[in-house]
Structure 1
């Protein structure tokens, strides 16, 4: 049993200097757990609700003092002094306290950091790292980090797709994989500037701004940087289309290379990309409500894996529908999307039972000590999204893996080749 003796919450800042809620719990044994609630730039309509104050005079309406009070007043009064047997027991109490389908009463940004803080406090009571606390067996492999190196999407109208990634599948170790990712990233500015005669700009997710509207041209540019760095045989590619951001519901069309296209045309274009480039996965190729389009993508894109992010939002019920409709090969695991650790693990378990993959990922408004790293290692996933190797919260994800490689000793880098379809 774990008994919470004190609860503290405060407003802090995420990696984009936006307010977020941080929660700290202390148990009767003296153990503590602390966690914060990151938020993405692309937020699916089915994610747990983020409560913001809406006071234009404070952070332009983005402050979260009301959510902080929900932790210190409502949540604290319900959990302090009460014994909890497990994470599931604790999270059930939070869900009952909120009582809404979207966590809109207390706020997903109040519930989520409280849930993760409890996970860390329980792990501290056992004296083990969180990834060992949640592990279901031997920790024999380490996930391959995937690097977001070029950006379009949200802030750049030239390129519709949100992220272009490299995957160092041929690396011999985590350290080698990190070196490959950083080396290619550092080669990119020279390639961009030589091709475009313009300075390489920083994109919204801290990769470089994609200088072309044609996705094939962007992938070709990245491929040149890979070749220049000497890693041609060790690197594959991946895409996060974030297509909900570029979808027009009135015409049922998507932005693509300066044109509007329907679902079939989008899938056809993506198929041509998979035939030209080795793409390990494509994330969110269609809109979050385009179930038929996702099913079409799974049928047609035989040389890559189709992942749902905004489509699934780490929600067990939505994943169950995707399984029934054969709409994904896997899902992007972002625990704050659904709001509690238990719900995230239930979605993961459902995916595993169905033979689907989970792709853990941080959020663009991330935190230094993101729990997705512990989930990636503890759940033994084959690869994960680490972001661009530029800012602190992204670099720390890489350092986490480097440290874990040394701590575990005999664990080896996951063999991505066994699941790749190219």
Structure 2
């Protein structure tokens, strides 16, 4: 059976893209939207309570996509370069790392608006916790700051990396934060105490991504290997030499499939792809060649129904994750139902008080104008009825007068006719008498 489906969205010469979907019908249905310009998609994230995906690109655009309806919901333009983003689980807030600031944004009904700024420049990685109550952001000094989302208080600053931090990943219970970097180090941090609790260091290797499972940690590195590391002693339990450069990694919440994103190697012109491994790792995998460049970001939805992948050519692919029987493939989160099947998608939206007041004032003004128009229309209608009444009265009076005149003229003509008949009768009688007298 089919494992990955749906279409992709990417740029063309007119900064437009074509989206195709196989979710609702077997026939492909092309849909065209304004899209990111040519260049990399540098940030991507999904929220929990809504079927929304946010992307940011080199073109300084923030775009929010609805992957259930295959539509582009909102677009916002920035005057600064955009470097990273993360979506709050409730789908109402964004955090975007810009060249000059880290910006906290509200997603309003028809706008994406900054409401707070944190003085962190060039934040290349930022990630909400699964609960959304805290978030972690990377600083230019290769430290990690953990903030309370609601108070914006900086809770901890985690130091240890001495080169660029490539990836941040939270544990499922939000107690631990995992960071991997270009210095060959993977650190596990206690997010409550703000302390480093475990480390795995391999000099000369860049760790592009690392994720925590319940019993281990899985990492992908520049030496083209996938490593599974025991959580108890941080020793390597499984190591696969995969022969490709990995750039992204994500584990299905159902725990049966590991998604990886690959990038183009120096000795090959083949673009990146999505490679799916069976888990626990045994070396079985399936490649899905769908990208136009190196995979830059990859996210799976909370219910393991959707996988979203972006690359440095500006392409975004939305995949359905479905059960595949026999051999390596993709399991659509065995035992996990689609979220909206048991817990309806959130339909709440944010509206600021000032916007609400403005809209209320506009509505009140429009209602007042409607009332004024109704009064004016009623007055004009009354005046028109009065004019019509007067005009009808004039016409009626004129018609009545003309009718009376015609009646009088008719009666006069009748009298004249009667007189003429009488006169003619008399003349005829006289002529008859004269004729009789002449005959005698």
Superposition TM-score, scaled by structure 2 size: 0.28
Q: Which has the higher strand share?
A: 2
Superposition TM-score, scaled by structure 1 size: 0.28
Q: Which has the higher helix share?
A: 1
| Bigger-Rg structure (1/2) | 2
